[in-house]
Chain A
Amino acid sequence: MKVKVIVTLKNGVLDPQGKAIQQTLNGMSYDNVSEVRQGKYFDIEINESDGSRAKSQVEEMCKKLLANLVIEDYKIL
C-alpha cells in the first residue's frame, strides 16, 4: 500500500526559502500572499496489507529519519 507523508517546519522556525518564494510571488503581483512555508512530501510504497501496521511503521520512520523533530513536524495523510 501507499502511505503519504508531509514534513513541514514547525511554527516559529525560520524558513528563508519560504520567505524568498513569498517575496517572489509578491514581486509577480500576487500582493495578497502574506506567507509561504516550504515542506517535503513523501510517497512511500510499503509491502504491508494491514493499514494500521503500515501507518505505525511509517510513523516510526518519520521519527527516526524523515523528519528532524527539532525543527520539523510530520503528518501522515
Chain B
Amino acid sequence: MKSSVIIFPGSNCDRDMDVALKKYGFKNQMVWHNDVEIPKSDLIVLPGGFSYGDYLRCGSIAGKSKIIKSVIDFANSGGLVLGICNGFQILTETGLLPGILQQNKYLNFICKNVFVKIKNKENKYFKKIKKEILELHIAHNEGNYFCSKDELKSIEDNDQIAVTYCDHEGNDDEKNNPNGALKNIAGIFNKDKNILGMMPHPERMIDPFLSGEDGSLFFENLIESL
C-alpha cells in the first residue's frame, strides 16, 4: 500500500507520520506543498503542525496551496484522505469537511493524552479496531469544533461523527470535553467516509516505551482495510 504525506512549511508531525506509516507496512513518500502532482497513492495524509505559521486562520493558507488541488481531486474521486490536527483544520478550510476548528474555549494550548470514543466503524479507518475507546494524544490551540445547526444535523443524520472526547469509560459528556468542541467532536468524516479529519494524533501512540499503543491499532486497521 502506498501513502503520501504532504509537507507544508510549518508542518511538524510529518516525520512522525512517516515513521508510523512505514512501521505498519505502508510504502510512504513525502510530497512538498509546492508540487502539483501527487505520486500514485492509496492514502494521502495531511499532517499536524502549524502550516504557514497559522497565519490568517489555521489551515487557511495551506488550503489554497499548489498541491491542494490534487488532494481535492483525489478525495473527490473516492481516495482516502486523512487529516490530523492541522491537517483536519486544512480539510475544513478546503471545504472537504464541514465546519471549522476554532480557538479552544478556555484559550489554552492543550497538550495531553485523552480518550476518544469511536462512533462509527462502517468505514476503512476504524472497521477492524476491536476497542471502542482509544487513548490518543492531543496538542492544539484550535481544536474547538464548530458548525451551524443545520450542518450539525446533516453531520449527525449521515453518521459523520468519527470520534468524540470521553473518559476511560466512554462518557462523552461536557465534563470530558477538553476544548469546547460541539458535541465533544474530536473527528469527523465526509458523507462518503473516505475523508477523515481528527484532532488526536494516532502517530504519537505507536510505541509502548514512549507513549501508548492505541495509535498502533489505528494504523494496523488502516493497512488491513485498504
Contact = CB atoms under 8 A, between A and B. Distances in A.
B146 to A, nearest CB: 6
B33 to A, nearest CB: 16
B172 interface: no
Given A13-B146, A14-B180, A68 B93 contact: yes
A71 B56 contact: no
Contact of A20 (B60, B107, B151): B107
A14 B147 CA distance: 12
Contacts of A26: none
Contacts of B64: 64-65
Contact of A71 (B105, B146, B180): B146
Instruction: Indicate the member of A13, A16, A66 with the most B CB atoms within 10 Å.
Output: A16
Q: For chain B, which range describes its interface: under 10, 10 to 19, 20 to 34, or 35 or more residues?
A: 20 to 34
Given A13-B146, A20-B107, A71 B60 contact: no
A71 B103 contact: no
Interface of B: 56-57, 60, 64, 92-93, 98-100, 102-107, 144, 146-148, 151, 180
Interface of A: 13-14, 16-17, 20, 64-66, 68, 70-71
22 contacts: A13-B102, A13-B146, A14-B144, A14-B180, A16-B103, A16-B105, A16-B106, A16-B107, A17-B103, A17-B107, A65-B60, A65-B64, A66-B56, A68-B100, A70-B92, A70-B98, A70-B99, A70-B100, A70-B146, A70-B151, A71-B100, A71-B102
